[in-house]
Chain A
Amino acid sequence: SQQGEEDPQALSIQEGENATMNCSYKTSINNLQWYRQNSGRGLVHLILIRSNEREKHSGRLRVTLDTSKKSSSLLITASRAADTASYFCATSNTGKLIFGQGTTLQVKP
């Protein structure tokens, strides 16, 4: 069963705009992670936020976590065409990761 549900399923923006994608989950977690998948490739880890953290930054990425609402958001600022990919949230509780269905982001040049 899927733990995380992502919203929107698909997002199309212009280069330079910001992209926000959301993830909701059902049970308590130790951490929440975001991964990127380029078409036809494996997943690449982007950022991890622990359950006792509320916000984390990495370059153009900003992740927030609201454990009371069981939700997280990933913000990509000043998007580039190279950011076109699918983005997955994954929650960890028992050591195994449970992935959401992903958000497909298209950044138009």
Chain B
Amino acid sequence: NAGVTQTPKFQVLKTGQSMTLQCAQDMNHNSMYWYRQDPGMGLRLIYYSASEGTTDKGEVPNGYNVSRLNKREFSLRLESAAPSQTSVYFCASERGAETQYFGPGTRLLVL
């Protein structure tokens, strides 16, 4: 099992460009999450999906959209990137409303 995979691993964007971060899990988990991690800030929840077909906002959703394409895949889209969105983005999936399993992260730099 690959667990949680994320693509790309690293991306540089110019202000105003758009991109989609991809996440997939092969553990048959219902819940999936997107976080951003900034220095000294821990992880902050952007969006989550409790099950296929549902998505909800987290703590910092502004500037992002998500799609739960199917049970395996949960994508995060930046429609018009801003320098404030420079961060490391982590996707996670959850077993039984307890343990979360994290992907390796996507490092995004917005110039």
Residues of chain A at the chain B interface (Cβ within 8 Å): 1-2, 4, 31, 33, 40-45, 48, 88, 92, 95-102
Contacts and interface: CB of A to CB of B under 8 A. Distances in A.
A97 B100 contact: yes
Contact of B42 (A2, A40, A42): A2
B97 interface: yes
Nearest to B105: A42
A80 B86 CA distance: 33
B16 interface: no
8 contacts: A41-B105, A43-B90, A43-B100, A43-B102, A45-B99, A97-B33, A99-B42, A101-B41
Contacts of B41: 2, 101
A58 B98 CA distance: 17
B35 to A, nearest CB: 8
Interface of B: 4, 31, 33, 35, 40-45, 48, 50, 58-59, 90, 92, 97-105
Given A42-B90, A43-B90, A96 B58 contact: yes
B59 A88 contact: no
Given A2-B42, A95-B97, A41 B58 contact: no
A48 B97 CA distance: 12
A86 to B, nearest CB: 9
B43 A43 contact: yes
B45 A92 contact: no
Given A95-B50, A96-B48, A42 B43 contact: no
Contacts, number: 52
Given A1-B59, A40-B105, A42-B102, 8 more contacts: A42-B4, A42-B103, A43-B90, A43-B92, A43-B102, A92-B97, A99-B44, A101-B40
Contacts of B58: 96
B101 A45 contact: yes
A96 B44 CA distance: 11
Between A2, A40, A96, A98, the greatest number of chain B beta carbons within 10 A of the residue's beta carbon is seen for A96
Contacts of B97: 92, 95
